[in-house]
Structure 1
């Protein structure tokens, strides 16, 4: 169990903008950063990070919280896992407190965590086999050296080797206490009827571990080295609870910072393409691992950049298959370029032949936009056949139809018009046809809109002012709870009190009941803190790791918009934090006034009942007098 001192050290050291910056391309927006939501497709950035407050808020989904909360959301980490990941990133040593889980807790250990653990064990095992055994060095290590890989690159990508013995790893894992069931579910071992001792899936292959965005091992790719064996050259882990091939990009963990820094992602086909480019110093590169590009993979790239250059080795089948990837990337609003290497070269061989500067320059200058690329490929096949030429142009316009931005569409059509000498009108007509074809048989998805506030005004509905003011009081406690305000008592004596204590005292008067269940929880936590001499304001609630609470607190603490700098025009505004004493005082009086009005309405509704109503009339008179006193304080004009 991680000690409280370590947790405090982690929270005081980590920077939310650095943690999130590895997953989302952030751009400065005043004192905050903004980016596209990593949790939902959107075109306008609504994801806000506040370095000063060390929190984030995703206004498209309502999620928000601290850096640790973000790691839990994006990586499906548990709280301890997120803490350990952050500690590792910042070089913080984890101090453990003595904690022995019960048998029930041991039994409750999730299968998902066991899958992560067995993959870590396998990854260490494969690396140890390659570096520390005679067989591994003679076969696996020699292969990578033959491919001209340096030791630091081999270590960086954690490359390994699975020995020839058919159940070497299976036996090793069973001896360490892992069950046949978890080995089988991980795909690392197979247990056929004729071989009860199990068989290693990747035996006698070099190993390429596949990592998540944060660096956890999800699965493996493996290459057989013998040419006379009738089996697939490459073998991948099967789909598991933690590994979904269509949602993973090889090399993303090692490349994400370079992609964000360069604002460009190079997309290649194979593992060795990624590794060779890294070794040459070109690190902003990932691979789809031989699969067709998927929407999930594109979304991973889009967290870091909207610019993609696809690198091909000139294989005709692969080039034609790339047309689908072009349309998918365009539909996600990506800016794409494509590059064909010279005959006989792929990214791996080209990077090994040439120095970094030459390779980078070649990619930058030779990459074409998708219009030029498709034109070159399709017109080469069309020759002088006018029908095939028309079909080629129609195919290019079809790709433009996938572009969601109307302005970009017009620019692309102008480019096609200039290239082929066609009228823009005919191209726009074709674009309209292609859009109809693309949309045929589909209906727009109607998603329910989640209200951002607990009070919603719609047809026949009115906003409850008492609840609105209750929300404001809770907001003031979360934002300024530990701030001390100066007050005077009835005798004219000055005293000091915190915002939290003053608002709690106000809410405790007149038997007022908190209306919102979420506000009830917040006020209860704050009250319990006061009983323990703790002032629990905004950031305290992030430690509770409650999604509903952290979302509300982040909503309170982060303003998605900032005022312009009007001081340069000699126009000055008071900021909210500069008028907290008056603001708290006014909101409390307004809240009490609305509570009084609610009591008057309640009594008036009771006047219809039988019996002597003299007492109720007297209550209404007294409450109206109290209301008038508050109106006077609030400078109301009656």
Structure 2
């Protein structure tokens, strides 16, 4: 493990413009550098590198971060691997900290499992290509599928011999210990786990062999058609997508992921030139698998054969795609065909045209599928409408939801407002349940549930958490911006008070009343840092373990706009306003006042509502107390407004 001081030295030394410049052609524009984004196809450069802040941000696809983030995204390195890459580039000697016995054992076990899995991959392929039965049974099967030898080698296809312990004997002769082989799921006590099966190698995103899928070929044997490696320290099938290692670059290039059901579908399509294709690894689609896809693209095309029972079983997995804010299209293949067979029968050109022409939006595909079953039965139609509305409610994007509601109302022949009300009810229930779960755990959500950030729409969709039209998030965001970007700077030279100390000392009693959960969590993080004697900084938040805090720091530290030095020259205008980085002291004072004004305005609004309520109930004595409170609140509000030069009503 790399020592903390070495990590700190690497992070402080690495220059994002220097690192990115090794991979992207950058040119200067003002104080920043721009180039074509390496993460998505574009003709006009939207990829910005800010040397001053030592970060990058693409305003086209949204990716951003520091030098480490860039290497992890672009080169698909782990955090430690990125640090070693940077240490090598800048000639920094890496100091390792001694691992505990437990940590060392865990690391050694993972390394050992990777080693024996790679040995197994090589062994099974050797058996496939060079043993008599491997060639007659296994190789003939793969050749019958149309797989070329280079494809067989690329995907690590193989054959497990039918003897009781032939693999175990070979592995033992090669020096591998039986207990490690068993922990890798390759043997079971004294016999091989895979016997007389063609083998599909399963790799993680880094390309390391983590497990296998084995298919039996004999039809008269009472055994499962497919078996997979059991769960191990390095193989969790719910977190693995078959083919993702080979597909990830193509998925990013095509900005689309094709999702199929089987190993052979992935391999056939890849061999034919359709490389952006993956399959779930012997399991129903999971959230972890979806998040892998989301790293590379928001667009998913799911291929189904004509089996209606199988389609219905897969609908839940598709709902998970919607919940993760992916754009989902469905392609239904002709009856009796799967992607592999249809490609073999029709050829690449016809197959690609079919995928393009027959792709249907998932919501409408599901609606039409269920409508066909429901017919004119009102009970069944009611159930299917609720089912579709449940899927729509999962979609985080409010605009997308609105459009689906409108189209489904037309499709079902029901009033739009009825569907809106049903969507709102589901979102509200989900939000309440989510909040209760988080409250029970005593922590903040790592990401909000669907719909929590819903803006007020004309058609009546559920409003955002902020109860007023203006909302308080603008003021909250401004304070968070000052905390993250300038928190470590001195606000008061004489008192040696930092910007973070100044702001937090004035808002520590109202943090729990923040409307935006991410802004609230950021301010609480600043509070903890100050209590530890540390200072918040943009670098700290950009290395934070929570992805929403990392993204917020990137967004706050970057802007697609910058002040032009040519303005004064061209128009002979004297610019007296300081640049933002020079104006943080004044901004902090004004930002805090604006925040207080907005909170006071809200309290006034809530107080006057209470006055009206008491008046309607003839509670005159209590109402007079609230009126006197209202008078004092308005005096404070007006004083603040006068200081800011703001008119309030």
Note whether the superposition's TM-score is higher than 0.5. Answer: yes
- Map Cα deviations across residues 40-90 of structure 1 (whole Å, 9 max, x no partner): xxxxxxxx9849899767999998543797389976575499759x99xxx
Distance 1:432 1:259 in 2: 34
Alignment of 1:499-538 (within 5 A): none
Secondary structure in 2 matching 1:31: strand
**Structure 1 residue aligned with 2:110:** 112
Alignment partner of 1:126 is 2:128: no
Distance 1:333 1:106 in 2: 39
Is the CA contact 2:486–2:499 (under 8 Å) kept in the aligned structure 1? no
Secondary structure in 1 matching 2:296: coil
**Structure 1 residue aligned with 2:588:** none
Post-superposition shift, 1:304?
Answer: 0.7
**Structure 2 residue aligned with 1:511:** none
**Structure 2 residue aligned with 1:351:** 343
Alignment partner of 1:258 is 2:250: yes
Is the CA contact 1:271–1:287 (under 8 Å) kept in the aligned structure 2? yes
Change (3 A) 1:466 1:177: farther
**Structure 2 residue aligned with 1:485:** none
- TM-score between the two structures when normalised by the length of structure 1: 0.61
Post-superposition shift, 1:208?
Answer: 0.8
Alignment partner of 1:201 is 2:193: yes
Post-superposition shift, 1:449?
Answer: 10
Alignment partner of 1:155 is 2:157: no
Secondary structure in 2 matching 1:207: strand
Pairing partner for 2:135 from 126, 134, 137? 137
Post-superposition shift, 1:356?
Answer: 1.9
**Structure 2 residue aligned with 1:187:** 185
Change (3 A) 1:309 1:80: closer
Change (3 A) 1:570 1:285: farther
**Structure 1 residue aligned with 2:218:** 226
Post-superposition shift, 1:423?
Answer: 1.9
Distance 1:65 1:265 in 2: 27
Is the CA contact 1:397–1:431 (under 8 Å) kept in the aligned structure 2? yes
Post-superposition shift, 1:437?
Answer: 4.8
- Map Cα deviations across residues 346-399 of structure 1 (whole Å, 9 max, x no partner): 111111112222211111111111232112211111122122122212211111
Pairing partner for 1:66 from 68, 72, 77? 68
Alignment partner of 1:299 is 2:291: yes
Alignment of 1:583-602 (within 5 A): none
Post-superposition shift, 1:436?
Answer: 4.2
Post-superposition shift, 1:189?
Answer: 0.9
Alignment partner of 1:417 is 2:409: yes
Is the CA contact 2:374–2:381 (under 8 Å) kept in the aligned structure 1? yes
**Structure 2 residue aligned with 1:44:** none
Alignment of 1:460-609 (within 5 A): 466=496, 468=498, 559-564=557-562, 566=564, 569=567
Change (3 A) 1:308 1:61: closer
Distance 1:407 1:71 in 2: 29
Pairing partner for 1:214 from 202, 206, 216? 206
Is the CA contact 1:260–1:304 (under 8 Å) kept in the aligned structure 2? yes
Q: How many residues align?
A: 468
**Structure 1 residue aligned with 2:276:** 284
Change (3 A) 1:31 1:464: farther
Distance 1:165 1:77 in 2: 43
Secondary structure in 2 matching 1:165: coil
- Map Cα deviations across residues 441-494 of structure 1 (whole Å, 9 max, x no partner): 44264755999769969xxx99997475999xxxxxxxxxxxxxxxxxxxxxxx
- Map Cα deviations across residues 489-546 of structure 1 (whole Å, 9 max, x no partner): xxxxxxxxxxxxxxxxxxxxxxxxxx99889xxxxxxxxxxxxxxxxxx9xxxxxx99
- Map Cα deviations across residues 148-187 of structure 1 (whole Å, 9 max, x no partner): 1112221221211111222122112222222222111110
- Map Cα deviations across residues 419-450 of structure 1 (whole Å, 9 max, x no partner): 23322112212222333454564426475599
- TM-score between the two structures when normalised by the length of structure 2: 0.60
Distance 1:153 1:18 in 2: 35
Pairing partner for 2:315 from 308, 323, 329? 323
Q: Where does the alignment leave 5 or more consecutive residues of structure 1 unmatched?
A: 1-6, 22-28, 37-47, 93-100, 192-197, 472-514, 520-537, 539-544, 584-638
Pairing partner for 1:146 from 104, 125, 144? 144
Distance 2:73 2:406 in 1: 44
Is the CA contact 2:301–2:331 (under 8 Å) kept in the aligned structure 1? yes
Is the CA contact 2:406–2:416 (under 8 Å) kept in the aligned structure 1? yes
Change (3 A) 1:234 1:358: same
Change (3 A) 1:173 1:72: farther
Change (3 A) 1:210 1:49: farther
Pairing partner for 2:397 from 387, 405, 415? 405
- Map Cα deviations across residues 13-34 of structure 1 (whole Å, 9 max, x no partner): x99669999xxxxxxx972788
Change (3 A) 1:20 1:342: farther
Distance 2:544 2:375 in 1: 64
Secondary structure in 2 matching 1:164: coil
Secondary structure in 1 matching 2:318: helix
Alignment of 1:427-442 (within 5 A): 427-439=419-431, 441-442=433-434
- Map Cα deviations across residues 575-614 of structure 1 (whole Å, 9 max, x no partner): xxxx9xxx9xxxxxxxxxxxxxxxxxxxxxxxxxxxxxxx
Distance 1:433 1:74 in 2: 41
Distance 1:567 1:81 in 2: 37
Pairing partner for 2:34 from 24, 31, 36? 31
Pairing partner for 1:167 from 165, 169, 179? 165
Distance 1:15 1:55 in 2: 10
Is the CA contact 2:134–2:159 (under 8 Å) kept in the aligned structure 1? yes
Alignment partner of 1:366 is 2:358: yes
Bigger Rg over Cα: 1
Change (3 A) 1:351 1:569: farther
Q: Where does the alignment leave 5 or more consecutive residues of structure 2 unmatched?
A: 1-9, 25-31, 40-46, 90-97, 447-479, 502-530, 583-649
Post-superposition shift, 1:132?
Answer: 2.5
